[in-house]
Amino acid sequence: MLKNVYLHIHSDDDEQQLIEKERVGEMTALERSNLNTLQRRMPGLYELACMDESSTSSIICNKHGELNIVDQKTGRVLYGEHPRQEISKHVDWFLEYPFRITCSDTQSGRTEAQTNRFLGFDSPIAVKLSEHDSTVSNMDIVVVLGLGLGYQLDMLIDRVNPRHIIIYEPDIGYLKSSLFAISYKALLERANKQGVGLYFQAGKDGRDIKADITELSEVTPADAFYVYKHYNHPVFDKVVKDLALEAWCDIQQIEPSESELTSFIDYVPPWTQPFYSHQWTRAGLNLALFESNLAALKRYFPDIHESMVNYSPKNWWPVSNSDGIVNLAYHPTMSLLYGENPCVESKLSIEAFKKRPNIDGLVLGYNGKKLRKYQHYQLVNKCEAVLNELEESNGDLPESVKSMIIFGLGVGYQLPHLFENHTVEKLFICEPNPDYFFASLFSISWSEVFERFDVDGGHLYINIGDDGSHLIEDLLKQFHTVGPYVLASTYFYQGYYNANLVNAIARLREQLKVIIAMGDYYDHAKYGIAHTTWSINNNIRYLTKTGINCLAEKVKRMPVILVGNGPSLDTSIEFLKSSNDKALIVSCGTSLQTLYKWGIKPDFHAEIEQNRSTYEWATKIDGFEYLKDITLISCNGIHPDTCRLYKQTFLALKEGEASTVFYTEMFPDHDFEILTKAFPTVTNLASDIVNKIGFQSIYLVGIDLGFVDDKYHHSKASAYYDDDGEEMYEYAKENDVTLLVEGNIRPFVYTKYEFKIAQAMLEQTFTNQNSVYNLSDGVKFSFASTLAYKDVLFDKFEGSKEVLFEELCSSCFAEANKSEFNEKKEKRFSHASLLEELEALSHLLEITTFDTKCSVMEFVDKHRDLLVKSYQRKKSFLFFYLNGTVNFVNSALSKVVNVDNDWLMPATEIIRLWKDSLKKITYQLTHDEMSFDFVSAHTVDRRNIVAKRNFMICPKKIKMASSKYEPLLNTSLSYFGLDPDATIGANEEYLIRFSEQCDVSSYSRICTIHQRSEKIDLECIAKNESLVVLPGNYLDTGTVSAANDYVRIRCAIFALFSSKKIKVVFPKLPLDSKTQSITDYYNLDLVSHCFAYELEHCVLFSIEPLPEEEKLTLAGDRLKLIPLIAERDLIYCELPYEQQLDEKDYYSNILAR
């Protein structure tokens, strides 16, 4: 069990290097000698040893100076701490229980008359071993399953006088490792001297044993042979089982089944201790403890009690030694899970984990681009940089553990050792093998474990019998109640290694990451509440319980087609076109662009994200009239700009959102339906709504949640691909798409972890009362029937689709009472109280200093307590806004104090980072609390489309005061997708000038460009005038490349496209921080009293805050308030001056036109 390589090498790196140095000369010389021997005498083996690079196995020298084999991929060794000694014991056991196969047998190895059972077991191998003859001294033919280090070969030649030894070794890495361990020259000479034939079957696993023995028997008579299985391997185990079960004459080619190769239940560690009858028996199990544990289960976990009370182990049977210590015996092969002392091994395992618990820490940063400017994620990424410095430190497991996952319990001896010096508030135990948990009922006192959690008020969750899928579901529930950052600080302990669970554990950890990424935090909560407030005040209707209950059955009988943007959507065009009048079509997310290209108009379109990317995706369609004929469905929090694109919008409250909780707290008796399974994808949202309404026939089209080719992951008619069908970006690099799952049409498809959670949530959404048909070429759903397009026969519905659609909308959705909402909101969530509580939180951070680890944890408690008290006072939004972000900071601090040394500096740095972030948050909530999200995902495409549309609706003429700049203006307008000649008949004229004196009375907007640094009086700027300030000449040595007239005119257009309240614009600059400074170009004192707003290429300043409607530009940008403007906000990017020279050449070409 203790096969982690860290347990086998010296804890002191220098000591380990000395040990290796002492052996390296001898090992190298032996390898060289062995290769020379093999080249001369076994050239085929020599070629394999020299050329095969497929194995991940290699030699290692352990802390005792002994050789072992390590798998470099998994970090696990083959043998225990003393390989030669352990191999000798293995050979001893083989000689005591020789496994003999008689070639003349015509009867199977197991008969009804067999009465002598090996150690009380009755598996075919146990029966075979019960026939053993330990007096055998001559074994003519010995089949060795596994070479390993090879020590056993000399031992076998010594002790059984063989004439022939056949050695199977499937792992060439093991063969290579043996070159450092044994002398092949001495081995071959000895074999030759004693007349022993050695037959190395390198790269083979023994499945051809029948053919090989038959071939040998043609040369030399073979009445019988003996099988020595050196280590456990799925094919070796299959060979031994078949030889024990079947008569030799019936044995053919041995082929293990897929389940025998991949089943985690049947996985046996490669190296196990010999099974002696005097040491391990079933008779000595503690039945009194078993009965006590059953009684405790009945009280605390009745479902588990029900499954265990009459349980019979399937494959792994509990056995105990004379001291009552419990082990597990694998019935089919008579292998032991643990070594000589499972209790000691378990203690060593948990103690090793306690010393390196941070290896499995789950605190995560944000690697995406879309939300990178959120205050929360900027804080998270800065804190993560601090936390990453702690990864190599030897922090111990803290005495008080907030949350812990134990994946793989075994017989459970780790638990008492864990609880000796630690308390765990929330413990999640996942034991995939029910046999193991059954054995734990004989080994540890579960009643003491349950009572401990009962008294301490902790939470204990036990999951038995799956590979972690249900654990994820439980953690999702915890996420809704305690916040995802409790999971982020969860310790993950794997009780035992199981190669067939590696993918399941990796999947579990990746799913935890997805859960954490879905968590609420400051920006998400703030924008969600602001968007929900807007929707109610703008009479957006919400899904109601009463409306659903009153909906006519004829409406529910309408077939519904849910359309996703998976690759198989590209094959559905004719089906969807022919179904338009026969079913309601609901497009999900980015599938809308594909349908637009095909001329298919859905009845509903669903979106889930509350950030503004949903607006940008939709505008990329460049079909505003098309959108105005479609009804949007979403959840509260959807962006107001997105809502305005569509004909009408219907929403539903979504569980777990701050924006939902704040409403339901004010209106506990509300009639609105709450979506509980509307995550993580938009398909889940649409499915939850459709299911809540009660539609009876649902068809899934393009809802693949997987793909065959990672280059073909969405519809090629969507924005993920260009016009030539090439990826817009490498999807497989941005996402882990290696997870293999069962397919709907084909056996398997690939998917990613987010989609796997989406699949799991859909499984919970739809029940047997729905008729769901899966037409997609993606993952398989257990609730849906696979159906081909040609086989679809829609049920006819009563009345016209248009009438039923209107009945659906009018019946199921209703407005909230906005006057009552605003009255209660103003009373419950006071802005003045919010600012007071923010000041109190800021004061707590200001007075906080750390001198001990205890002082850090005291702060964590005060930090959390301040938020809890705010919630209890019920005066402000503080708890709703900051709960997730404060949880993250507390988790980061908890992680820091778990290291032995150097904890003070990182703890202090995290507080400093949090103080800086809180200042910005306070500024934003003071001046911009109900602002909308600003995220821009497809800036250039959206800017061109929206600007062109706005100029078509209300033409405007933009002129330069000096005609010499007209060509440059035209180039700048083309940046916005505008044709200068398309402004004939303009209603308004805008003017851009370079400080020239001219008549401006006829222009509705003016932008003046300042090329020199000079003092400007903002109060003297005309009401319809803005200034662009950018001094310098890009041609001068050392000057930034952006200091040119093209950039100035382009930013002037940005100013003219913005509110008239914008008075000054500073273009952002590419900067070489080593040689250039923002202060060389801008004087922030000039705008110190202004409000700063951000666009991609510039910062805009107004004397007064902008209302939401004035933050939207003519190009579709939404201005973002910059809290506490600083020099770094004016840097477009960090760009070395040498690279700026290339940009200067680019600008020179533009300016020369």
pLDDT, residue 54, reads: 73
Q: What is the mean pLDDT of residues 1046-1050?
A: 97
- Phi-psi group of 345: left, alpha or beta (phi > 0 → left; psi -120 to 50 → alpha; rest → beta): alpha
pLDDT, residue 510, reads: 67
Give the model confidence (pLDDT) of 809-842 as tens digits.
Answer: 999 999 999 999 999 999 999 999 999 999 999 9
Give the model confidence (pLDDT) of 24-39 as tens digits.
Answer: 999 999 999 999 999 9
C-alpha to C-alpha distance for 672 and 544, rounded to whole angstroms: 4
Lowest mean pLDDT among 116-120, 452-456, 750-754: 116-120
pLDDT, residue 112, reads: 42
C-alpha to C-alpha distance for 759 and 679, rounded to whole angstroms: 10
Give the model confidence (pLDDT) of 722-764 as tens digits.
Answer: 888 899 888 888 787 778 889 999 999 999 888 988 998 999 8
Q: Say yes or no to pLDDT of 496 above 90.
A: no
Sign (positive or negative) of CA dihedral 449, 452, 454, 458: negative
Give the model confidence (pLDDT) of 573-615 as tens digits.
Answer: 999 999 999 999 999 999 999 999 999 999 999 999 999 999 9
Q: Say yes or no to pLDDT of 989 above 60.
A: yes
C-alpha to C-alpha distance for 505 and 406, rounded to whole angstroms: 11
Residue 719 in tokens: 């924005």
According to DSSP, the residues that pair with 330 across neighbouring strands are: 316, 335
Helix axes 904-927, 831-846, angle to 10 degrees: 160
Which of 903, 805, 918 minimizes the C-alpha distance to 393? 903
Q: Say yes or no to pLDDT of 361 above 60.
A: no
C-alpha to C-alpha distance for 964 and 946, rounded to whole angstroms: 28
- Tell me if the bond preceding 357 is cis, omega within 30° of 0: no
Please check whether residue 201 is in contact with residue 120, taking contact to mean a CB–CB distance below 8 angstroms: no
**pLDDT band at residue 472, thresholds of 50, 70 and 90?**
low
Percent of the chain with pLDDT over 70: 93
pLDDT, residue 488, reads: 58
Provide the whole-model pTM. 0.76
pLDDT, residue 937, reads: 79
Give the model confidence (pLDDT) of 911-928 as tens digits.
Answer: 999 999 999 999 999 999
- Phi-psi group of 1106: left, alpha or beta (phi > 0 → left; psi -120 to 50 → alpha; rest → beta): beta
C-alpha to C-alpha distance for 364 and 300, rounded to whole angstroms: 34
Q: Say yes or no to pLDDT of 359 above 50.
A: no
According to DSSP, the residues that pair with 401 across neighbouring strands are: 424
**pLDDT band at residue 391, thresholds of 50, 70 and 90?**
low
Give the model confidence (pLDDT) of 47-71 as tens digits.
Answer: 998 876 778 899 999 999 999 999 9
- Tell me if the bond preceding 432 is cis, omega within 30° of 0: no
Question: Which residue intervals of 250-360 are DSSP H helices?
Answer: 258-262, 287-300, 302-308, 342-355
**pLDDT band at residue 393, thresholds of 50, 70 and 90?**
low
- At residue 175, what are phi and psi to the nearest 5 degrees? -60, -45
Which DSSP helix (H) or strand (E) runs through 873? helix 853-873
**Strand 491-494 to 541-543 pairing:** unpaired
pLDDT, residue 357, reads: 78
String of b and e for 111-128 (b: at least 16 CB within 10 Å)? eeeeeeebbebebbbbbb
Q: What is the mean pLDDT of residues 684-691?
A: 97
Which of 566, 621, 559 minimizes the C-alpha distance to 586? 559
Which DSSP helix (H) or strand (E) runs through 860? helix 853-873
**Count of beta carbons in the 10 Å neighbourhood of residue 875:** 17
Which of 1010, 1050, 1017, 1051 minimizes the C-alpha distance to 1031? 1010
Residue 197 in tokens: 């034939």
Q: What is the mean pLDDT of the chain?
A: 90
Lowest mean pLDDT among 260-264, 278-282, 510-514, 831-835: 510-514
500 Cβ neighbours under 8 A, 6+ residues apart: 262, 263, 264, 267
Q: Which of 448-462, 601-615, 849-863 has the highest mean pLDDT?
A: 601-615
148 Cβ neighbours under 8 A, 6+ residues apart: 69, 78, 79, 87, 169, 174, 177, 178, 230, 231
- At residue 742, what are phi and psi to the nearest 5 degrees? -65, 135
**Strand 541-543 to 560-563 pairing:** unpaired
pLDDT, residue 394, reads: 53
Please check whether residue 616 is in contact with residue 938, taking contact to mean a CB–CB distance below 8 angstroms: yes
Percent of the chain with pLDDT over 90: 68
Q: Say yes or no to pLDDT of 323 above 90.
A: yes
pLDDT, residue 152, reads: 96
C-alpha to C-alpha distance for 572 and 1089, rounded to whole angstroms: 58
Report the amino acid identity of residue 1013. S
